[in-house]
């Protein structure tokens, strides 16, 4: 597997959650951040986030090169980062400058880090326990009014351009030499990023990867880099300096693994660091705390198995397997509310760290499903004694079976034959129960079932998850796909797969999980198609997923949290974050289904 430009836990990277124009050095914590001054030298803007995004540029895993283009009403701003070990060149170029704004760059220490910054003549000297730097601006000068204790500010002498160098050595680069380094690193990045001759596949790869790496930040509260769902969610919000949602973060690892083993591993380690005292991976893990009342759809083991297939790293499996196994064993200690051997979504009676998170309510149980407002649970009831909904969920039970199947294979890798045998039996038992109790012969598909024995007659992609769980026979899988998945009045169409069937009354809402397309649902359905050898349908499914992804990526650099199932748009809804990495799963599916992305290592 490729190791060139591998992601590192040290050196320069775009780790500051508050601005896309900043680079942070680890382990020193020194930060350089580009901003804008007014023509009279007053601070105009120091932070740039997703609303200001014009084009999400290249980004090497090690940040040897990265670039981003931002648009505000007053101007357009292009920022380039070029690094070589501990050396960084940051270049800012302004165009369409309607009000003669002036680029500036501030040097200071990122939150939680300490050191000394002393200005002298036209440069700044930086000293920390780990490093020493010289910061100088070959195209500008120090701004005396903005240099405060523990920081330095540089302003350009040239119209619309600023270049700054942070170097661990005494020597200096001229403006020409610094720009030449940027251009050399840019060319290197263009070569590195080119993976596919097909332009659609190449664009899909770019969008998928960039949405992951640009959402990778440094969280001081846990002292590690992590990929968050969207960096804007970690600014002045309900979570603190980072937030990891369980299935989101495992999917970040899957997407990262296309080019970076270390970033994939870092994300798995980060989400597993949040394991609760009772052994489950919480739905939410952030600076404010954990959702100790609930977990989420168990996709960790299947993702880790995919990482093993790609990297064949037994040591990593040995590291994470005990936590995955303990999490798996937790489910039946807490989520079989009526003791019938099937699982229900739930929430325990535990006080949440933030009131908006809720706990021990129907809504909190819906949050555990990950499908916050899905019509599947519109008439569900919550049992406060059992701490669960009064409905057995197809998606959860299938995911539990998938978890047992994947864990059994990981156990085999480690030579844990006793656990492998136990997990294989659990998989068989769950297969038998799901087929006996959740199959609806009349509808020709699995359905959620209330405790009173009645079926929930609403169709969602979760009802295909038994295929990803490998718990149906081939004839049943083909029947479900033929009757329902390929039915254009239910799930098939130009854009797939809606989170509730097209003929459901809630579909027209196109609001969050009420009808919109979601990357993780698509991936789990795609995984099921591949598991049953329905490759021709999987390829078409991949093409449709790719088509949805590319529309807004090519136009706006958006990788949306969710998409309109009629139009493929992401911008049409309030609750559809514009750069939320798991939208890139649509691109990932397209790459895998095309055959162009070779995943497993022989």
11-174+187-193 and 199-594 agree in CATH topology: no
Residues of the chain with pLDDT under 70: 1-3, 145, 147, 149, 170, 602
As a whole number of angstroms, the distance between CA 71 and CA 376 comes to 40
Q: What is the DSSP letter of 581?
A: G
Q: Are 346 and 335 in contact (CB under 8 A)?
A: yes
* Alpha-carbon dihedral 8, 10, 16, 17, rounded to 10 degrees: 50
Residues forming a β-bridge with 155 = 104, 141
Which pLDDT score is estimated for 396?
98
As a whole number of angstroms, the distance between CA 235 and CA 52 comes to 15
Which pLDDT score is estimated for 61?
98
DSSP secondary structure, 343-398, as one string: ---B--S---SSGGG--SSHHHHHHHHT-TT-GGGTT--EETTTTEESEE-HHHHH
As a whole number of angstroms, the distance between CA 510 and CA 547 comes to 19
Nearest to 550 by CA among 486, 494, 480: 494
Q: Which CATH class is domain 11-174+187-193?
A: mainly beta
As a whole number of angstroms, the distance between CA 289 and CA 282 comes to 10
Nearest to 398 by CA among 301, 297, 324, 248: 297
Three-class secondary structure of residue 158 per DSSP? strand
Which pLDDT score is estimated for 151?
84
Which pLDDT score is estimated for 4?
79
Which pLDDT score is estimated for 149?
64
CATH for 199-594 is 1.50.10.10
CA 141 to chain centre: 39
Residues forming a β-bridge with 158 = 161
pTM value is 0.96
Which pLDDT score is estimated for 130?
82
Q: Are 16 and 31 in contact (CB under 8 A)?
A: yes
Which pLDDT score is estimated for 129?
86
Handedness of CA 398, 401, 405, 406 (dihedral sign): positive
Q: Where are the domains of the chain?
A: 11-174+187-193, 199-594
Q: Are 539 and 490 in contact (CB under 8 A)?
A: no
Q: Are 267 and 251 in contact (CB under 8 A)?
A: no
Q: In terms of DSSP bridges, do strands 289-290 and 284-286 run parallel, antiparallel, or are they unpaired?
A: antiparallel
User: What phi, psi does 32 have (nearest 5°)?
Assistant: -120, 130
State which H helix or E strand residue 173 sits in: none
Residues forming a β-bridge with 136 = 123, 165
Three-state DSSP string of 413-428: HHCCHHHHHHHHHHHH
């Amino acid at each position: 597997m490729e190791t060139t430009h591998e992601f590192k836990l040290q050196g320069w990277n775009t780790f500051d959650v508050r601005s896309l124009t900043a680079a942070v050095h680890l382990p020193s914590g020194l930060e350089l951040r580009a901003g804008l001054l007014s023509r009279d030298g007053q601070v105009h803007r120091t932070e740039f986030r997703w609303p200001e995004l014009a084009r999400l540029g290249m980004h090497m895993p090690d940040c040897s090169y990265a670039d981003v283009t931002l648009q505000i009403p007053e101007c357009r701003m292009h920022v380039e980062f070029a690094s070589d070990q501990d050396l960084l060149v940051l270049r800012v170029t302004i165009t369409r400058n309607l009000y003669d704004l002036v680029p500036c760059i501030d040097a200071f220490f990122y939150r939680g880090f300490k050191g000394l910054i002393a200005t002298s003549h036209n440069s700044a000297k930086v000293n920390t326990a780990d490093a020493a730097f010289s910061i100088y601006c070959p195209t500008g000068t120090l701004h005396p009014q903005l240099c405060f204790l523990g920081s330095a500010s540089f302003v350009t002498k040239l119209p619309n351009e600023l270049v700054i160098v942070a170097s661990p050595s005494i020597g200096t680069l001229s403006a020409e030499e610094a720009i030449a380094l940027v251009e050399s690193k840019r060319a290197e990045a263009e070569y590195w990023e080119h993976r596919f001759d097909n332009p659609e596949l190449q664009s899909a790869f770019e969008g998928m990867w960039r949405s992951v790496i640009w959402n990778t930040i440094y969280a001081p509260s846990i002292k590690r880099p992590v990929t968050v769902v969207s960096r804007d969610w970690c600014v002045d919000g309900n979570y603190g300096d980072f937030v990891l949602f369980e299935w989101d973060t495992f999917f970040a690892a899957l997407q990262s693994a296309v080019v970076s083993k270390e970033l994939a591993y870092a994300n798995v380690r980060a989400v597993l660091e949040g394991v609760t005292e009772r052994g489950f991976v919480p739905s939410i893990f952030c600076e404010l705390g954990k959702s100790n009342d609930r977990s989420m759809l168990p996709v960790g083991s299947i993702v880790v198995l995919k990482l093993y297939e790609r990297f064949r790293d037994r040591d990593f499996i040995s590291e994470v397997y005990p936590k995955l196994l303990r999490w798996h064993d937790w489910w039946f200690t807490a989520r079989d509310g009526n003791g019938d051997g099937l699982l229900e979504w739930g929430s325990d009676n535990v006080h949440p760290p933030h009131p908006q998170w809720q706990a021990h309510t129907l809504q909190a149980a819906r949050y555990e499903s990950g499908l916050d407002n899905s019509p599947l649970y519109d008439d569900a009831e919550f049992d406060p004694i059992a701490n669960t909904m009064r409905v057995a969920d197809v998606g959860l039970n299938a995911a539990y079976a998938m978890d047992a199947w994947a864990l059994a294979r990981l156990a085999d890798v480690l030579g844990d034959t006793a656990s492998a045998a136990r997990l294989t039996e659990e998989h068989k038992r769950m297969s038998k129960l799901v087929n006996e109790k959740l199959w609806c012969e009349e509808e020709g598909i699995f359905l959620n079932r209330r405790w009173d024995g009645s079926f929930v007659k609403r169709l969602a992609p979760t009802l295909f998850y038994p295929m990803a769980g490998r718990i149906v026979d081939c004839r049943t899988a083909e029947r479900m796909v033929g009757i329902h998945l390929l039915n254009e009045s239910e799930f098939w169409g130009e854009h797939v797969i809606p989170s509730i069937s097209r003929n459901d009354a809630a579909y027209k809402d196109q609001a969050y999980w009420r009808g919109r397309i979601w990357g993780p649902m698509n991936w789990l359905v795609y995984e099921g198609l591949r598991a049953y050898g329905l490759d021709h349908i999987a390829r078409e499914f991949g093409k449709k997923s790719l088509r949805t992804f590319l529309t807004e990526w090519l136009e706006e650099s958006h990788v949306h949290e969710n998409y309109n199932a009629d139009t493929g748009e992401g911008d049409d809804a309030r609750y559809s974050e514009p750069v939320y990495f798991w939208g890139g799963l649509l691109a990932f599916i397209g790459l895998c289904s095309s055959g162009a992305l070779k995943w497993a290592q022989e």
